[in-house]
A and B are shown apart, each in its own frame.
Chain A
Amino acid sequence: MKNWVILGGVLLLFVVLVKEWRRQRAPQVFTTTSGQVEMCLFCHQEKPEKVHAREVVGCSPCHLGDPLRTDKSLAHRGIVKNPGDLRVADRTCGNPACHPEIPSQVKKSLMATNRGIINTLRRYWGEIPDQPSVRLEDDVAYLLKHPELKSTALDYYRKLCGSCHLWFEKGKFPDFLKEKGGGCVACHLVPGPKEAKHPRLTRKIPTKNCVRCHNRSGRIGLTYQGLYEDEGYGTPYLDGDFGEEMLPDGRFVRPIPPDVHFKAGLVCVDCHLKEETMGEGKTYVHFEESVEITCVACHGGDGKTAKGRMVPGIKKEKGKLVFKDKEGRTHPLKAPDPIKCRHPVHRRLSCQACHAKRVPQCFGCHVRMDPRQRQTDKLTGKETRGAWEEFKSYQRLTTPTLGVKGKEIVILVPG
């Protein structure tokens, strides 16, 4: 017995010694400039942008895992590929040393809750009273936790609209959906240089990132860039050639004159404030409650939004208000025409009533649900019974129809 115990011990020691001998050892202990140990830097050579430089931030504050380990399997325990995912954002982007207040605000924003879409669908389809009101279940986060909550409107939302929200997991679905969602990175991520092997995070959100979602209904993202969603389906009717461009989701567009702001090089977030896009901690039911930028804020106004916030891009130079875009370019701000815009007969006209030369108008929208087929629920990722399909009678590009909203005359964009 005695000898067996000793022999067993020696054998075990041999096994452990061999394992230790084969262990990959780092040449030094890696630390960030603040002295935090980051052994991830021993293996990982990726270089994010300057603000999140590897030498300053390291890897683990964003991607979690265990930065004190050199063994891959142990170091990668609890690691997250996308730190911007709202499921982990409180511990990553929103950790107390970085952007602690942001995740809770973003989770209340309309881009995360989709409350506007869900509430409107349910009201229009007669599932809830026809008065916009804050309802707990009109929230993607709630629907994610309660897949058992079912209704016709919610089924439609889950299958056709459920990919345009910030809770959508980036890379979970194939094709064009692969690029959508991802929480913070849905907007803030842009490709990095090839040699960096890491995408870059930016506050200069390119229009492309916004248009991944804002390309349906009013087609605002398309019209802004000078793209018109055509019915041509690629038919070579434009000057006898295939004059069409195709969007990533397979729809065809053709070029039209873009918005003047687009021509001036402005992107969506040059005008739209972070409080509008990322939320301000309040629960809004509808888009109009959240949007605060107005044309007048820059053109003829005092630089303040409808909620009294200063537009960040507006600066005073030589006694005049100018606009500095995210790239640092200065734009003069043209005041409204004193005769046309201030004329008493035009007092009820919104700016867009005259200045929006054309808007896409999609008439005769119909949806059909085939209960025999199956379709993917974009929130759960599972196929369920019932497949939705959308139809339109025709689409036209023309001067917009005007209508009255409250006391104001506005443009109407059917879509």
Chain B
Amino acid sequence: MKSLVSPWVSWGLCASFLLAVVTGIIINYPYRAEIPLISTVGIEGTVPFGALFRYLHYYSGQLAFLLLIWHTTEALLGQSYRYRRPFFWTTLISTYPLTLLVLFTGYIIRGDETGLLAGRIAENLALKLPWVGELINRLLFAVMEEGAHRAYLAHVFLSWGLLVGLISWHFRLRRLELEDLSLWASVALLLALLFPPSLEFAPLATHAKGPWFFLGVQEALRYFSPYLAGLLFPTLPLLLLWLCKWWPRKAVLGLLLWHVIYLSFTIAGALR
């Protein structure tokens, strides 16, 4: 069967994710969840090669997420859902929100302005969930009570879980070529060299922006209720993605429409 997705992107995703996990292990040693911002600044400013590993971790994580979007789009265009059984399709779809959650908790545990405020918004949204809200908040956030601690554990466990799960079921790590690894590590290195990521510092600002992928939700929350803007709106694309297996045309159209709306909210949020 002809491959439905481009190997270049797929192995790029694999390489970036692997690089993010490896660099994450390295910076995990000097990191301390009880003093997130101080230890993150310490990694950058005092640990030998700490800034390099943090920047690589940051950009390989971002690349992994962007390549996942690309990979998913290719898979949808290639109608790969046809060849997946419902259980596997559902499991595969679940990696999408999990990756997003890993990326999101990564922001929270920096302990800076962007991370902690986004964490507080996420915590309040989680608590709005009926029945399971408290449990989900305890598992993932609880930022106001415990700072970055829960988010840190979620970040580490989810990263490992995803890597182990995907290696054992979705791709074979030993087939990752050194060429792909070198290429995507170079992209991350180049980005780190040219645009060193900053920690956001504006403790007294009246307007704070969350991570770039969260801006749409943040902006939507200005106009709609937390249930609608914070829970239903971000859950909708996952539902549509899942439904692609059964109603592909309608679901893909819905996804397209959702992305147009979300992009508009994101641009509006970024321009504030």
Interface of A toward B, CB cutoff 8 Å:
1-2, 5-6, 8-10, 12-13, 15-17, 19-21, 23, 25-29, 31, 35-37, 39, 42, 60-61, 66-71, 74, 95-97
Contact = CB atoms under 8 A, between A and B. Distances in A.
B112 A6 contact: no
Contact of B51 (A20, A27, A39, A66): A20
A96 B177 CA distance: 54
Contacts of B203: 36
B178 interface: yes
Contacts of A66: 198, 201
Given A5-B179, A12-B186, A68 B199 contact: yes
A240 B193 CA distance: 73
Interface of B: 37-39, 41-42, 44-49, 51-52, 112, 177-179, 182-183, 185-186, 189-190, 192-193, 196, 198-199, 201, 203-204, 206
Contact of A31 (B38, B49, B179): B38
Contacts of B193: 12, 15-16, 19
A69 B55 CA distance: 13
Contacts of B182: 5-6, 8-10
Contacts of B47: 25
A392 B189 CA distance: 71
Contacts of A70: 44-45
B41 A29 contact: yes
Contacts, number: 88
Contact of B189 (A2, A6, A13): A13
Contact of B46 (A8, A28, A95): A28
Given A6-B178, A12-B190, A74 B49 contact: no
Given A31-B38, A37-B37, A67-B201, A25 B179 contact: no
A97 B204 contact: yes
A5 B38 CA distance: 37
A279 B65 CA distance: 54
Given A37-B38, A68-B112, A74-B198, A26 B186 contact: no
A346 to B, nearest CB: 56
Contacts of B41: 29, 37, 39, 68
B38 A9 contact: no
Nearest to B198: A66
Given A17-B52, A20-B52, A95-B204, A74 B196 contact: yes
A1 B182 CA distance: 12
Contacts of B183: 5, 9
Contacts of A74: 196, 198
11 contacts: A9-B185, A19-B193, A23-B51, A26-B46, A29-B42, A35-B38, A37-B201, A39-B45, A68-B198, A68-B201, A95-B204
Top 8 closest A-B pairs, CB basis? A9-B182, A70-B45, A9-B186, A2-B179, A29-B42, A20-B52, A6-B182, A68-B199
Decide if the interface of chain B is mainly helix, strand, loop or mixed.
helix
A29 B185 contact: no
B45 A29 contact: yes
Contacts of A23: 51
A35 B51 CA distance: 22
A13 B39 CA distance: 25
B201 A25 contact: no
B45 A26 contact: yes
B139 to A, nearest CB: 28
Given A6-B178, A74-B198, A25 B186 contact: no
Contacts of B42: 28-29
A186 B46 CA distance: 39
A40 to B, nearest CB: 11
A373 B179 CA distance: 71
B85 to A, nearest CB: 36
A202 to B, nearest CB: 24
Contacts of B39: 29
A361 to B, nearest CB: 51
Contacts of A9: 182-183, 185-186, 189
Contacts of B186: 5, 8-9, 12-13
Nearest to A35: B38
A97 B178 CA distance: 53
A44 to B, nearest CB: 14
Contacts of A37: 37-38, 41, 201
A17 B177 CA distance: 23
Contacts of A17: 49, 52
B52 A16 contact: yes
Nearest to B178: A6
A25 B46 CA distance: 5
A25 B199 CA distance: 17
A16 to B, nearest CB: 5
Nearest to A4: B179
Given A42-B45, A69-B44, 17 more contacts: A5-B183, A5-B186, A6-B178, A9-B182, A9-B185, A9-B186, A15-B193, A17-B52, A25-B46, A37-B38, A37-B41, A37-B201, A61-B204, A68-B44, A68-B112, A74-B198, A96-B206
A12 B190 CA distance: 8
A12 B189 contact: yes
Interface hub of A19, A61, A68 (most chain B Cβ within 10 A): A68
A1 B204 CA distance: 51
A113 B51 CA distance: 48
A407 B37 CA distance: 67
Q: Which of A5, A17, A28 is the most central at the interface, judged by chain B CB atoms within 10 Å of its CB? A: A5
A161 B269 CA distance: 44
A61 B183 CA distance: 42
B51 to A, nearest CB: 7
Contacts of B199: 68
